[in-house]
Amino acid sequence: MRTVLAFVVALGATFTLTACAPKRDLQVDQINQLQKLSEVMDTQATLADPQFKKRDQATFTDAELATMADVGTRLQATSLKAKQFTKGPGFDELANGVHARAEDLVKASQAKDAAGVRKALTEMKATCKECHKKFK
The DSSP result for 25-92, as a single string, is ---HHHHTT--SHHHHHHHHHHHHHHHHTTTT-S---HHHHHHHHHHHHHHHHHHHHHGGG---HHHH
Question: Which domains are delineated in the chain?
Answer: 24-135 (1.20.120)
**Cβ atoms of residues 117 and 109 within 8 Å:** yes
pLDDT at residue 6, as a whole number: 40
pLDDT at residue 9, as a whole number: 41
**Cβ atoms of residues 55 and 122 within 8 Å:** yes
**Cβ atoms of residues 101 and 127 within 8 Å:** yes
**Coil, helix or strand for 116?**
helix
pLDDT at residue 64, as a whole number: 97
pLDDT at residue 7, as a whole number: 42
pLDDT at residue 117, as a whole number: 98
* pLDDT digits (tens), the chain, 136 positions: 555 434 444 444 444 444 454 568 899 999 999 999 999 999 999 999 999 999 999 999 999 999 999 999 999 999 999 999 999 999 999 999 999 999 999 999 999 999 999 999 999 999 999 999 999 8
Indicate the pTM of the whole model: 0.82
Q: What is the C-alpha to C-alpha distance for residues 114 and 93, in angstroms, rounded to an integer?
A: 27
